[in-house]
Amino acid sequence: YRLVRELLEKEYESRTEKRKKQRIHRANFSELKYLEELDVKELPKDAQVALNELETLKFIREGRNVVLYGNPGTGKTHIAIALAIKACEQDMTVMFTTVPRLLTQIRECRSQKKLKQLERNFEKFDLVICDEFGYVSCDKEGGELLFNHLSLRAGKKSTIITTNLAFNRWNEIIKDKILVAAMVDRLTHKALIINMTGDSYRLKETKKIMTNLQNKKQ
């Protein structure tokens, strides 16, 4: 009896591990980043304070959004992906995309008359990461398409937005002020908004490498 139980437990563990790997693979992350790899002391203060709450993944279960905003290189994408991988490990479904890629996908599906299918799939994920909001500007039509698509999840499912722009600068990439106001209102309702402005972690790493090289030469 014990041998059978052990075999069943191993089979269950094997299947569970396989499911985790499949969910991580299907999420289509740009790279794999983990919470354990974060140097918390180097993160901006807001992120240090919010991290414990974010790690519980309660925001996903409550269908609340997270907006990580601030200058490049401060850990926004790392935090987003690390939380999403933890969600995959807890049997949640995740999608990772960049805003430019999402817009291209929406436009292509619309022209192929497959938009409804895309929308249905988009609504189902427990968590969606929309990375790089603000890196590429979009016209009024693009802004409307993005707003309509993101609104499908509003108040029901969780979305993480990473952006290099504070809200008062979103009209730099979407020229319609009314649309920008509606988008900010929809995305930030009951959201966790985390200021990621700080010294670039990547820049600090580069400086460390350069310093080490100089020290070796001396």
Q: What is the pLDDT of residues 110-128, one digit of tens each?
A: 999 999 999 999 999 999 9
pTM of the model: 0.88
DSSP string for residues in 6-36: HHHHHHHHHHHHHHHHHHHHHHT-SS---GG
Question: Which pLDDT tens digit goes with each residue over 35-94?
Answer: 999 999 999 999 999 999 999 999 999 999 999 999 999 999 999 999 999 999 999 999
**What pLDDT was estimated at residue 181?**
95
Q: Return the pLDDT at 208.
A: 77
Query: Does 204 have pLDDT greater than 80?
Result: no
Buried b (16+ CB within 10 A) or exposed e, 185-216: ebbeeebbebbbebeebeeeeeeeeeeeeeee
Given this model, what pLDDT does residue 2 score?
Answer: 83
* pLDDT at residue number 55: 98
Query: Average of pLDDT values for 197-217?
Result: 80
